[in-house]
Amino acid sequence: MTDKTEQFKQVLNDHHQWPCPYVYKFIVPSEKMDQFRELFASEALETRPSRTGKYTSVTITSTMCSAEEVMGVYEKAAQVPGVMSL
């Protein structure tokens, strides 16, 4: 694990008591939304297109049991080219 990954894990553990709801926010290129939806088929996605329609804002609220589980979702989302995690 890199230092930044370890730091992020520590911050998550310091600020959350597992299990707890965790809110993810992503910006996804609109042409990649089908791929993103496929990866997160079991999750309820709240979406909102950008003004130009080039990007889609995605919010996922899910109950997580550990910092590792949270980090796994970010790694999964990173499989979609051009996705930005907020």
Give 16-73 pLDDT, tens digit per residue: 999 999 999 999 999 999 999 999 999 999 999 999 999 999 999 999 999 999 999 9
CB atoms within 10 A of CB 60: 16
- Per-residue pLDDT of 24-37, as tens digits, reads 999 999 999 999 99
Closest CA to 74 of 14, 15, 20, 5: 5
Note the Cα 15 to chain centre separation in Å.
Answer: 17
What is the C-alpha separation between 60 and 25, in angstroms, rounded? 7
Phi, psi for residue 59 in degrees, rounded to 5:
-120, 130
pLDDT of 3: 87
In the chain the domains, ranked by start, together with CATH numbers, are 3-85 (3.30.70.260)
